[in-house]
Every structure is written in C-alpha cells, then in structure tokens.
Amino acid sequence: MSIAILPMSQEFNWNSATVGLIQSSFFGGYLLTQIFGGIWADKISGKLVFGFGVVWWSIATVLTPIAAKIGLPFLLIMRAFMGIGEKKKEEFDLICFESTYLHLKGQIEDFHLNGLAISPILIHTFGWPSVFYSFGSLGGIWFALWIKKAYSSRKEDPELSPRERKLILGSSVSKEPVSVIPWKLILSKAPVWALIISHFCHNWGTFVLLTWMPTYYNQVLKFISLSQACYVSCHG
C-alpha cells in the first residue's frame, strides 16, 4: 500500500492527511490481534491460524481497489481488515521457528520481503489495482498448497528424514502446555519490558520507513516519476 498509495492519491485527489489516515488504518486492525493471535496459534494450530490469516488478508487485498472506488470509509475498513489478517504471520513465526531450522529464519524473512520489488513493475505496467488483484489472487493459490503440504510443526511431516528430524528435535524449544497465562508474573519481569520497548522502537522505525519512504522520494526528493520513486524505495 505504501507504494500504491502514490498513484492512488493522484487519482482520488487525496491530501497528505487523508493518505496518513489510510496508511494508519491498517495498524488499527493489526493491533487488535496482537495477543489473541498468539494464543490461538498456540492452542489451536499454527497452520490453521496462519492459513486463516492469509485467506482473510487475500480477500481484503482483492477488495481494496473496489473499496477505494466506492469511498474513503470503505477503504479504511478494508485496510483495518487487512491488518487483522496480516498480523497472523507474526504469531505463526513463533510457532514455526521454534520447531524448524532457526538458522533459516533470516532467509525466509528476506524472501518474503523481496515481494516489495515486484510492486513498482506491476504498477508501472498494469496500473495500481494490479498489485492488489495479483497478490490477493496468489494468496488463494498459496492457501490450497498450504493446507495440503504444510504442518504446524516440522516434526509432524511424514516426509521428514531421520537426519532432519534429529536436527529439528535438537534445536527446538520444549515447552509445557499453558492453561492459564500468568499475566502478573510476566509483566513483573524487567526482560519482558525490555523486549516490549525494543519491539515498539523497532516497529516504529520499520513501519515509518516502510509506509512513507515512497512518498518521501516522490514529494521531497522530487523524483521524476512515481515508478522511479517506488523502485528506489524498494531497493534503497
């Protein structure tokens, strides 16, 4: 959205305040499932929760261009819905990476972030709605493969070799099921607050750059075209 918002704001004549409202509406939905999503992933199934989140996210993505053309309130609601779906990725990370190869986490994160580089090409070639339609449609295809091939834990994979199973079991974190969450005990620990503060600061910087960098390149540095601003934002 941070890339598509440039041509969208020109088409719909949105000012900076409206653009900021649209961008921030995503985080309203993103915030709602911060705690509950993790609990669901732990108690139900990381596979099902993450799959549901992707389906939700994909539907909201496909409907975003339609909502934008209907009116601003509908777009704000759709962006909030998308935030609800996208947050499920974070909860699944906790379930997934504790039972798989920890040294692959960086590679997986880099791979999924590389999708940003495709957006300027789609916008320049087919127009801004193509970004939402293409990625939203891919989510449906991905979900079909996910349900068939994915497992909440690599230990559940019947095709896992003995060597892989030994490596995973050796690097996984064992834990006992929790029926009651000791919130008072958790919030009384200094390391917990250190993590909360560091995570807040990390997200603040990351999402400010991710959300506003294309706009900065286009409006402040005066790049000639929107496609140039988008491209540099993804590769800078």
Q: What is the pTM of this model?
A: 0.74
Q: How far apart are CA 125 and CA 70, in angstroms?
A: 24
Q: Is residue 39 one of the residues assigned to a domain?
A: yes
Residue 85 structural domain: 5-174
Q: Is residue 230 one of the residues assigned to a domain?
A: no
Q: Is residue 192 one of the residues assigned to a domain?
A: no
Q: Is residue 12 one of the residues assigned to a domain?
A: yes
Domains identified in the chain, total number: 1
- Any idea what the CATH number is for the domain that residue 42 is in? 1.20.1250.20
Q: Is residue 219 one of the residues assigned to a domain?
A: no
Q: Is residue 18 one of the residues assigned to a domain?
A: yes
Q: Is residue 181 one of the residues assigned to a domain?
A: no
pLDDT per residue rounded down to tens, the chain (236 residues) = 888 888 898 899 998 889 889 988 888 888 777 777 667 767 777 778 788 888 888 999 999 999 999 999 999 999 998 888 776 555 555 555 555 555 555 566 556 666 666 777 788 888 899 999 998 898 889 888 888 877 766 667 777 777 776 766 665 555 566 677 788 999 999 999 999 899 889 888 888 887 887 777 777 777 655 555 555 555 55
Q: What is the SS3 string spanning the chain?
A: CCCCHHHHHHHHCCCHHHHHHHHHHHHHHHHHCCCHHHHHHHHCCHHHHHHHHHHHHHHHHHHHHHHHHHCHHHHHHHHHHHHHHHCHHHHHHHHHHCCCCHHHHHHHHHHHHHHHHHHHHHHHHHCCHHHHHHHHHHHHHHHHHHHHHCCCCHHHCCCCCHHHHHHHHHHCCCCCCCCCCCHHHHHCCHHHHHHHHHHHHHHHHHHHHHHHHHHHHHHCCCCCCHHHHHHHHHHC
Q: Is residue 231 one of the residues assigned to a domain?
A: no
**According to the model, what pLDDT value does residue 197 have?**
94
